[in-house]
Structure 1
């Protein structure tokens, strides 16, 4: 009887340890997923700003000759290049967000997958920050 009790206690301890490890792993995976979603939620609202800015850039590029007439000091060649590059940055950032959202599977329990998706969204945040800085720099003249 004593052996049975000791065996039962030992088996309970082993199962408990296995369950604790599984719970810790799930918690870690969930934490990575939650961090990825948090970053997504932080940068996602910028897409509407990027879309609006892209339309504004198109308008400026279309009317650049008229703008040059009103403001002769503007270098239209550099302005066209700078605004075209900014538009590309904004579109790339938006496209990357759409691709990430399409690809992301929040219920995937693979830690490597969650880490990869987290790393992608961190890179995307940097891309969004760079694009946002470009808006302030390139469009300051046109406000």
Structure 2
């Protein structure tokens, strides 16, 4: 059981490590969204047919997703307990299985937010 638990913990950490670099990307994308929101008048001048109210709503929604996704990861990291002192191997196993499911859900959330971010920012040619 100890080997299984060690493998489970390594898997949890590996999923976590695959997500971490995206947090910085999301911070950068959030700055791009903020820039677009503050330059809405300039965008309208360059693209007179642009529906700025629709764009603004799309950008605000993306900004919310970026923020909530990063916060979800921060919360998970804050609550994750890598130490298993005074716990039975069965308890550790159950805990790690739950954490693996949770971090996999977070990975899915990160992927969805990343795709949305790429789509929105590519539409407005923001790199």
Question: Structure 2: how far apart are the matches of 1:51 and 1:78?
Answer: 23
Take 1:72 and 1:137, find their aligned partners in 2: how far apart are those partners? 21
Deviations 1:93-121 (A, max 9, x none): 11111111111112225111111111110
Determine if the alignment matches structure 1 residue 126 to structure 2 residue 108.
yes
Q: Report whether the alignment pairs 1:52 with 2:58.
A: no
Distance 2:98 2:115 in 1: 26
* Equivalent position of 2:48 in the other structure: 72
Quick check: 1:32 aligned with 2:8?
Answer: yes
Deviations 1:61-99 (A, max 9, x none): 111121111111221111111111111111111111111
Q: Kindly report the root-mean-square deviation, in angstroms, between the aligned alpha carbons of the 2 structures.
A: 1.1
Shift of the alpha carbon at 1:139? 1.0
Gaps of 5+ in 1: 1-24
For each residue in 1:105-140, what CA deviation from the matched residue of structure 2 results, as whole angstroms up to 9, or x when unmatched?
A: 122251111111111100000000001101111111
Residues 1:114 and 2:90 aligned together: no
Larger radius of gyration: 1
The total of aligned residue pairs comes to: 119
**TM-score relative to the length of structure 1:** 0.79
Following TM superposition, where does structure 1 have runs of at least 4 consecutive aligned residues deviating by more than 6 angstroms? none
Structure 2, gaps ≥5 residues long: none
